[in-house]
Structure 1
Amino acid sequence: MVMRFSFFAISLLAASMASAKPEPIPLTIGETVTLEALGVERAVNIILPPDYAAEPEKRWPVIYLLDGAMKQDLMMGAGLMRWGALWGRSKDAIIVGIETKDRQRELLPPTGDTAERKRWPSAGESAAFRQWLTDTVKPMIEARYRHDGTALLVGESAAGHFVVETWAEAPALFTGYAAISPSLQWDSEALSRRALGDAKRPPLYLSLADERGATESGMMRLLGVLPTEQPYCFSDRRKQLRHATSLHGLLPEALQYLLPTEADWLEEFGMVLRCDRRGGAL
């Protein structure tokens, strides 16, 4: 009788365990720090490589992604970067997503265009935002995380204009720049009219989707004034991409250019670095 009861109890326990649902545990993908810039609190989000903790002696490149909030481009940017690293298309890296609150205010310089001033009255404080990156964000990241000295600035649209402006005005702040569909129409294409001189700056990735108008003419003018020895890659995708799809389509290529690997199988899988115009050597 006792043995029968024990068998019944064990069977009941086994059935109970089989029907129990496993308890979920948190999936942690990164860290976040809240900082203030231009009088507004914002998140700086850090996503570390999967092997960061397992390889305590290794150091990593850092990608500073503008518009990098959770509700902005952070997850897409981190996913595309990881996908590229998985295939060996580009090196794995630390992603630093920088949240923007008022993009025209933070990412664009002042404009003399009346229509732009009327539409975006708060625009024009990109210099102050860049100073915040210089004085606060980069020193914090470099002090807390194991970096290898490579620091890339990546942005699209208005953030792309900020990338080109930073490359032109403070080139030593980062070691590489990627401006995807930059808003070079801003302020009557003023950025493309700026004298750059012959000094060699860090590598610059540029792309153009089906922008047309002043955005396109601004890009063509900029390409025309780049110094001969300047390392750059220009990807002309006017026939394939729209402004809204350019970041999704071209970030992997930008990272392939700026964080190259020695993989010899990429062309076989269609991961070709396409530079319709290219200058200098990396």
Structure 2
Amino acid sequence: MITLLAAAALAAAPAPTPEPQPLVIGETGTLEVLGQRREVSIVLPPDYAKDPEKRWPVVYQLDGDIRQDLMMGVGLLRWNALWGRSEDAILVGIATKDRQRELLPATKDPAEAKRYPTAGESAAFRAWLAGTVKPLIEARYRTDGSAVLIGESAAGHFVVETWELAPQLFTGYAAISPSLQWDFEALSRRPLGTAPRPPLYISLADEGGAMESGMERFLAVLPQSQPYCFSDRRKELHHATTLHGLFPEALQYLMPTEADWLTDYGMVLRCERRGGAG
């Protein structure tokens, strides 16, 4: 009887609970720019270690701290790759601290200058990306030479400004709801010339006002030979939802695959205006 009771007690005892293990998705390093230390996080494709000869494209995500948009970017990039919507890639999340200081040039608008007194050092931030961040990534990881820069709002303005002033830094650009109202819409007033530039994905949500007029002016001067995709979401998306909604589509345009099933699943690339062969 005692033996039976002991056996019953053992059978009813719960199985040992496994000890939780860390879930590691990437690595991070701390660099300094404009007198501030910030994190640069790197998330590799799941198959990165399987083929030591394979090289990968890189997506540089602005506002890419773990407290900002890093996890969203990683998830959407992986989801795109899972469906074959865009190529898989190394994702580099670049933290921002004072966004107007780092991502915008100086402004002549007194109201903007008063509201954002530290703004105006985008050129220094771009030089840091070009001279420190990109060389570090290319030296440490197996990159294939393709590099996409993606940002939204003030970071979208930085993307367009970089595409205009230093187009050779990246092979593709995605500016989601860029703040083209900045400095009396100055970015949309610069002559672009006819020199070829990398493909540009650009979009607008329901922001209206000077953001919208700046966008219309910018689109009006884009050469038809320039590869670009303008996604017009003024009736569907808000400024707060545009990055989440269009990050996958931007990658679909800039890092396309040969998948022929995407339309069947609603993964449609919408370009209300389009130029070049991109």
Instruction: Give the TM-score band, short-chain normalised.
Output: over 0.9
For the residue of structure 2 that corresponds to 1:61, the secondary structure is: strand
2:109 — aligned with what? 113
Q: Kindly provide the CA deviation profile for residues 223-271 of structure 1, in whole angstroms up to 9, marking residues without a partner as x.
A: 0111221000000000000100000000110000000000000000010
- Equivalent-residue separation in structure 2 for 1:13 and 1:62 (angstroms): 54
Structure 2 counterparts to residues 180-199 of structure 1, below 5 A: 180-199=176-195
Q: Kindly provide the CA deviation profile for residues 43-62 of structure 1, in whole angstroms up to 9, marking residues without a partner as x.
A: 00001101111121211110
For the residue of structure 1 that corresponds to 2:241, the secondary structure is: helix
Is 1:45 aligned with 2:41?
yes
Q: Describe the shift of the 1:10–1:26 C-alpha distance in structure 2 as closer, same or farther (beyond 3 A).
A: farther
- Equivalent-residue separation in structure 1 for 2:234 and 2:12 (angstroms): 61
- Equivalent-residue separation in structure 1 for 2:135 and 2:193 (angstroms): 29
Q: Describe the shift of the 1:14–1:54 C-alpha distance in structure 2 as closer, same or farther (beyond 3 A).
A: farther
- Equivalent-residue separation in structure 2 for 1:10 and 1:49 (angstroms): 49
Q: Describe the shift of the 1:10–1:149 C-alpha distance in structure 2 as closer, same or farther (beyond 3 A).
A: farther
Structure 2 counterparts to residues 193-272 of structure 1, below 5 A: 193-272=189-268
Q: TM-score scaled by structure 2?
A: 0.97
> Partner letter of residue 225 of structure 1?
V
Structure 2 counterparts to residues 45-194 of structure 1, below 5 A: 45-194=41-190
- Equivalent-residue separation in structure 2 for 1:82 and 1:195 (angstroms): 38
Q: Kindly provide the CA deviation profile for residues 73-118 of structure 1, in whole angstroms up to 9, marking residues without a partner as x.
A: 0000111111111100101011000000000000000000000000
> Which of residues 27, 31, 34 is equivalent to 1:31?
27
For the residue of structure 1 that corresponds to 2:119, the secondary structure is: coil
> Partner letter of residue 139 of structure 1?
P
Per mean C-alpha deviation after superposition, the further-off stretch among 55-64 and 115-124 is: 55-64
Query: Would the aligned equivalents of 1:181 and 1:208 in 2 still touch at CA under 8 Å?
Result: yes
Matched residues, percent identical? 74
Instruction: Output the aligned Cα RMSD.
Output: 1.5
TM-aligned CA deviation for residue 19 of structure 1:
3.1
Please, which runs of 5 or more residues in structure 2 have no aligned partner? none
Please, which runs of 5 or more residues in structure 1 have no aligned partner? none
Q: Kindly provide the CA deviation profile for residues 16-38 of structure 1, in whole angstroms up to 9, marking residues without a partner as x.
A: 5x432111000000000000010
Query: Would the aligned equivalents of 1:200 and 1:227 in 2 still touch at CA under 8 Å?
Result: no
For the residue of structure 2 that corresponds to 1:211, the secondary structure is: coil
- Equivalent-residue separation in structure 1 for 2:258 and 2:121 (angstroms): 40
Q: Kindly provide the CA deviation profile for residues 155-204 of structure 1, in whole angstroms up to 9, marking residues without a partner as x.
A: 00000000000000000000000000000000000000001100110000
> Partner letter of residue 131 of structure 2?
D
- Equivalent-residue separation in structure 2 for 1:10 and 1:51 (angstroms): 47
Residues matched between the structures, number: 278
